[in-house]
Structure 1
Amino acid sequence: MKKILFLLTVLSIVSCGEKKEDNGKLQVVTTTTMITDLVENIGGDLVDVNGLMGSGIDPHLYKASQGDVMKLDGADVIFYNGLHLEGKLVEVFEKMNEQGKTTIAISDGVSEKSLIGSEYFASNYDPHIWFDLTYWNEITYYVTEKLIELDPENKLAYEANRDAYRLQLIDLRAALNVKIQELPKERRILVTAHDAFNYFGRTFDFEVVGLQGISTATEAGVKDVQRITNFIIENKINAVFIESSVPRRTVEALQAAVKAQNHDVKIGGELFSDALGSAGTIEGTYIGMYKHNVSTIVNALK
């Protein structure tokens, strides 16, 4: 709570200072790289987007820096995931909204009734909603509506960008379906560093098992490693996966535990879960990330 009060105090002090010259564009701050990519696709040249988190950053453990405070203060709108993905920052955004700063949780764009529940997470819902393509389509509409509310003069441009992006999402789903058909249903078991892929599993009929829970704030213990080790051996799984935003040591420990029981399991590759790849790469976009993940999973498991 002290950190939240400190950040809000700093924001109030900064806001009393001199503002940057307005370039006529909507100033947008986003949290995760997935949201940054989405807003850039919808906003195009009409917005300046500043993302707080870069490639490889774990939003569960993220702490705002002084530079982030400046970005937040200069924003016309802040888009964040919500459902406590960003930890204590969510409380900061809610307080800022009460003080007149426009902060928007993209998770408000989907119905709570269809979210995957989690008794182990603060919101009681799994926050990794970007892996549900239907949700991402709904969120695309939701973000577009919010941008239009703030900048109604450019309504047609935002809608055109939205529609173009939605066509890409349709093509993405079709491409993923084709790739996943290469993998027999009995081999669609995904073991990863933490439980980020439940929506992916529900969408494409995979059984998903995470070494850590939905949040990386709690590390995996010896019992977790032993439980997953037994699961891998019982199901004759040949590959497990590391994640770009989670230290690989826990998966390597799992691999060693499995091998100690005379079962060979390889690390099938690196998946992008809570963050996209590096900017300027194919995996640095939402669509490229999803294609990379599915290709990596299918090629390793088959």
Structure 2
Amino acid sequence: MKKFIVLILFASVFGCNNAPEDNGKLKVVTTTTMLTDLVFEIGGEHVSLQGLMGAGVDPHLYKASEGDVSKLYEADIIFYSGLHLEGKLVDIFEKMEGQKNTVSLGDKLPKQELISSAYFASNYDPHVWFNIQFFKQFAQIVTDELSKADPENAESYSQNNQDYQKKLDALESEVKAIIATLPPEKRILVTAHDAFNYFGKAYDFQVVGLQGISTATEAGVKDVQNLSEFIIQNNIKAIFVESSVPRRTIEALQQAVLSKNHEVEIGGSLYSDALGDPGTEEGTYIGMFKYNVNTIVNALK
């Protein structure tokens, strides 16, 4: 019923006249915090940018508000992650096809490079931003789309992209250097849900999530018991909570391990589906990635 109401609201709003803002800037709406930061880096002063989701928000479960629908209607371009990450917004985006410039960034990546999943609706793991090379492709796509919509500022978008690509290359080098200090046999990452598979593939980590790829899939008692046995058998030192997932799932796992006369630490909170607070280092994609890698490596050493 709620989904139906949102769609009716969208249809009614879409019939209104779209009055352009006086500042003349390109109006861009993004869904996740990672994309908001990315468009800010590329668009700079030439775009009027609004992000739907904030720090700590779970995109798997996010539902559009009346205000969100208005923002989407007023936008010149909408960037969303796609691959069914924003599962509860899919119906709205489908309604907008052919009427608004909606860009699903994840769906533009080469399918043969994505991680398949038999348990998720899109059949691909949507957490692609944990591969820095994919995020570099996102930056190029954003640059191309902004340049097409606003050719007067295309040169500025291109320069911003070049600068950001260099920053992402530097991030990749720094991340590899930090991870190199952790012995390969200790590279087992246990988290609240399967958000880090691309990270694991890129940096040779075995990744195990208590929940599935989507946080809409809840872990059961059997999942907790099985993973607790895995932790004990592999002598894993630390497990991790996530900023956008309730702590109780990992705390339950920790208690299950303790009940079997073994100890495992909670190594810290990782940023998975959302960045940190605005204005902090973790509130940027680059800062988030560095924080996660340092937290993981320091806890597992």
1:13-61 CA deviation, whole Å, 9 max, x = no partner?
A: 2241563533111100000000000011000001011000000000000
Distance in 2, matches of 1:249 and 1:80, equals: 29
Structure 2: gaps spanning 5 or more residues: none
How many residues align? The count is: 300
1:49-76 CA deviation, whole Å, 9 max, x = no partner?
A: 1000000000000011111112111101
Q: CA deviation at 1:8?
A: 3.3
How do residues 52-71 of structure 1 correspond to structure 2 at under 5 angstroms?
A: 52-71=52-71
CA contact (8 A) 1:109 1:138 kept: no
Correspondence for 1:113: 112
Distance in 2, matches of 1:206 and 1:171, equals: 21
Give 3-state SS (helix, strand or coil) of 1:241's partner: strand
Instruction: Pick closer, same or farther for the CA change 1:144–1:222 going to 2, 3 Å.
Output: same
Give 3-state SS (helix, strand or coil) of 2:82's partner: coil
CA contact (8 A) 2:83 2:107 kept: no
Correspondence for 2:26: 26
CA contact (8 A) 1:4 1:92 kept: no
Q: CA deviation at 1:95?
A: 1.7
Instruction: Provide the TM-score with structure 1 as the length reference.
Output: 0.97
Correspondence for 1:273: 272
Amino acid at match of 1:88: K
How do residues 78-227 of structure 1 correspond to structure 2 at under 5 angstroms?
A: 78-98=78-98, 100-227=99-226
Give 3-state SS (helix, strand or coil) of 1:276's partner: coil
Q: CA deviation at 1:4?
A: 4.2
Give 3-state SS (helix, strand or coil) of 1:88's partner: helix
Distance in 2, matches of 1:259 and 1:19, equals: 60
Distance in 2, matches of 1:234 and 1:190, equals: 14
1:156-191 CA deviation, whole Å, 9 max, x = no partner?
A: 110000000000000000110111111000000000
Distance in 1, matches of 2:19 and 2:151, equals: 23
Amino acid at match of 2:265: K
Distance in 1, matches of 2:47 and 2:155, equals: 14
Distance in 2, matches of 1:162 and 1:71, equals: 25
CA contact (8 A) 2:131 2:199 kept: yes
Instruction: Pick closer, same or farther for the CA change 1:12–1:20 going to 2, 3 Å.
Output: farther
In terms of mean alpha carbon deviation, does 215-224 or 10-19 score higher?
10-19
CA contact (8 A) 1:189 1:207 kept: yes
Give 3-state SS (helix, strand or coil) of 1:293's partner: helix
Give 3-state SS (helix, strand or coil) of 1:24's partner: coil
Distance in 2, matches of 1:4 and 1:211, equals: 29
Correspondence for 1:259: 258
1:62-120 CA deviation, whole Å, 9 max, x = no partner?
A: 0111111121111011100111000131231122013x111110113310111000000
Give 3-state SS (helix, strand or coil) of 1:61's partner: coil
Structure 1: gaps spanning 5 or more residues: none
Give 3-state SS (helix, strand or coil) of 1:267's partner: strand
In terms of mean alpha carbon deviation, does 252-261 or 144-153 score higher?
144-153
What value does the CA root-mean-square deviation take over the aligned residues? Answer: 1.2
